[in-house]
Structure formats: structure tokens, C-alpha cells
């Protein structure tokens, strides 16, 4: 599984609708509207590294209202939720 964080700068006229559209893309696990330099943060998870380009450059970057993106591919994923779920098995 390959994980990536994609930062998205949006044009102002799509701010109210872009978050839902981003979340509807296959491979986007979550989309957040955020403060600061970027307008949205997308958490992407795909089964193969090769599928990442289709999600980022094929879907997110080409959406109406997306001005630019910045992608960070994760080396490893750490989650307290996953650890808690694993240790609670059988209790």
C-alpha cells in the first residue's frame, strides 16, 4: 500500500464544492479544508505505487478549480488507531 499527502491550492470560486469532489476520487481516503498557504489536504492510499500518478496527476490536478498541488509520498505509515485495534483483538 502506498500513502501520500497531497496539498491543494484552490481557486476561490470552487472553495465550497471542491472538498467533496476531492473526497469522491477513488484513492482519496480523506480530504480536509485547512488554513494557511494550502486550501485542502488529501490523504491518498493506493494499492500499488504506480497507481499514485493516476490519482494525483490524472484526477486531482486536472479538476476544475485546482490551481496547484504538492505531493509528499510516505515512507512508512504510523497510526495509533491501527495499534489500538491490533492490541484489542481478543479482549
Q: How would residue 91 be classed by pLDDT, with cut points 50, 70 and 90?
A: low
pLDDT tens per residue across span 22-60: 999 999 999 999 999 999 999 999 999 999 999 999 999
Ordered by start, the domain boundaries in the chain are: 2-87
Is the pLDDT reported for residue 82 higher than 90? no
Say how far apart CA 58 and CA 34 lie, in whole Å: 23
Is the pLDDT reported for residue 83 higher than 60? no
pTM for the full predicted model: 0.85
Q: How would residue 88 be classed by pLDDT, with cut points 50, 70 and 90?
A: low
CA distances from 54 to 26, 27, 29, 72, 89 (A): 10, 9, 15, 15, 36
Go through 8-37 and write b for each residue having 16 or more CB atoms within 10 A of its CB, e for each that does not. bebeeebeeebbebbeebebbeebeeeeee
pLDDT at 78: 80
Instruction: Report the topology of domain 2-87.
Output: Alpha-Beta Plaits (3.30.70)
Amino acid at each position: 500500500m502506498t500513502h501520500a499527502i497531497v496539498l491543494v491550492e484552490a481557486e476561490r470560486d470552487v472553495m465550497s464544492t471542491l472538498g467533496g469532489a476531492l473526497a469522491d476520487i477513488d484513492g482519496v481516503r480523506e480530504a480536509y479544508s485547512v488554513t494557511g498557504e494550502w486550501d485542502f489536504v488529501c490523504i491518498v492510499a493506493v494499492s500499488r505505487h504506480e497507481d499514485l500518478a493516476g490519482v494525483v496527476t490524472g484526477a486531482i490536478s486536472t479538476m476544475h478549480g485546482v490551481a496547484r498541488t504538492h505531493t509528499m509520498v510516505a515512507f512508512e505509515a504510523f497510526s495509533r488507531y491501527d495499534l489500538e485495534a491490533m492490541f484489542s483483538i481478543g479482549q
